[in-house]
Amino acid sequence: MTSTIRILSIETSCDETGVSIVEYDKNTQEYKIIADSLNSQIEIHKEFGGVFPMMAKREHGNNLTGLLTSCLRMLPSSDMSSVEAENINLELLTREKELTEKVKDELENTNSPLLTIPNIDYIAVTRGPGLEPALWVGLSFAKFLSQLWQKPLLPINHMEGHISSVLMGADKVEFPTLALLISGGHTELVDVESWGSYNIIGKTRDDAVGEAYDKVARILDMSYPGGPLVAGKAQKLRDTFLESDIQIMKDTYSIKLPRPMIHSQDLDLSFSGLKTAVLYLVRDIKKKQDLTEEIIDLICHEFENSVSEVLLSKLKFAHKSGNYKYKNLIVAGGVIANQFLRENLEAWSILNGIHFLKPEKFLATDNAVMIALAAIVGLNNEYVQIINPSDKEFTELAPDGDWSLNTI
């Protein structure tokens, strides 16, 4: 029996189109990225200040085939046989206009890598959570490929992908683990008893952290996605002034923002009020004077302090009130690209004797590698659903935009 598992994975839950091939060696327990293609739609959505689901869907449809073929070309070519003509079923792509056109074009090329059965064991695809029109594109494509190559399909939870993203190049995860997931769509505290056993113990009641960053950026006339821009302005102040001097500058303009739910004796979070507080603060300042660069930097700094303090207070509460002592803290999701938050969370973790795990930078924001990693974990621990093209579940398989980690 072969000692490696090779996964082709597809991610289309939001505004990144990702395809990757990841290999796992059961003997050495090492993961290796054979190919990784990612296309970000940020430039397209920038113009509109956020992600438009139907536009995201169209872009995924336009990009997937090219990303896939570039990945397939990275595969070792031994033992590959041609696909059976009867397995080319374009009906599986019926709801995807752009994708159908691209696949048809590709199939007209007799040298297309699509027409050779690749050296992979499974096709993993994000089934949710995310934007359903966007999820449909990846799922339809995965079904088409599964039928074409007669390879089993693995439906994967995007948030489990974020948790698993720390596996690449990291130490082993030890349980019980606490996971803090901070992205553009989610803010969740998850109690991870073991792989596949997730219990969401806290989450935002309204906006996600990344969403709050993006909305604050919009209020301050910055482009999308605003997270890195807001973070950059706050960091610029930190690099230039002492914290005590920054405080004096904030006092001059009465810049003070709330720390939402910091004292609520639970693990719930809320960021919508914080965003509204920024809106009112800007309105009040504008009544008296121009919104200068200095004031914008100070607001970004105050906003980021608020986010950091709130997240830390919830970690402390989870740590104090949990049934057991957590061995690891995993922090994942796009917002972990933020250096200030990452350093604060890591410092707290070390101080409390909890091993801190975060993804490598290129795996922090959405990507397909993390979907393959979650698939491997699900296979190794025998809980991931394995669907063959001949199974009844294959036809019924549909995205779940709200798929919770609790129901894996």
CB of 378 to ligand KG4, least distance (A): 19
Which of Zn ion, ligand KG4, none does residue 335 bind to, with CB < 5 to 8 Å depending on kind? Answer: ligand KG4
* Structure-token match 């033992």, residue found: 79
Under the binding rule (CB under 5 A), the answer on residue 304 touching Zn ion is no
Under the binding rule (CB under 6 A), the answer on residue 129 touching ligand KG4 is no
> Residues 232-271: x/- map of binding to ligand KG4 (CB under 6 A)?
----------------------------------------
Which of ligand KG4, Zn ion, none does residue 338 bind to, with CB < 5 to 8 Å depending on kind? Answer: ligand KG4
Pick from 27, 23, 26, 30: nearest CA to 8? 23
**Total residues found in the chain within this entry:** 408
Which of Zn ion, ligand KG4, none does residue 214 bind to, with CB < 5 to 8 Å depending on kind? Answer: ligand KG4
Whether residue 121 contacts residue 88, with contact meaning beta carbons closer than 8 Å, is answered with no
Pick from 338, 274, 344: nearest CA to 313? 344
**What is the rounded distance in angstroms from the CA atom of residue 133 to the CA atom of residue 131?**
6
Under the binding rule (CB under 6 A), the answer on residue 184 touching ligand KG4 is yes
**What is the rounded distance in angstroms from the CA atom of residue 166 to the CA atom of residue 364?**
9
Stretch that binds Zn ion, among 87-95, 110-118, 181-189, 292-300 (CB under 5 A): 181-189
Pick from 55, 61, 29: nearest CA to 42? 55
Which residue type, as a one-letter code, is found at position 189?
Answer: L
> Residues 350-369: x/- map of binding to ligand KG4 (CB under 6 A)?
---------------xx---
Under the binding rule (CB under 5 A), the answer on residue 211 touching Zn ion is no
Nearer to ligand KG4, 40 or 87 (CB): 40
CB of 257 to ligand KG4, least distance (A): 16
Helix segments in 132-226, DSSP class H: 132-149, 158-164, 209-219
Burial of 286 (0-12, 13-18, 19+ CB in 10 A): exposed
**What is the rounded distance in angstroms from the CA atom of residue 197 to the CA atom of residue 163?**
12
Interacting residues toward Zn ion by CB under 5 A? 183, 366
Interacting residues toward ligand KG4 by CB under 6 A? 14, 183-185, 210-211, 213-214, 225-228, 231, 333-335, 337-338, 365-366
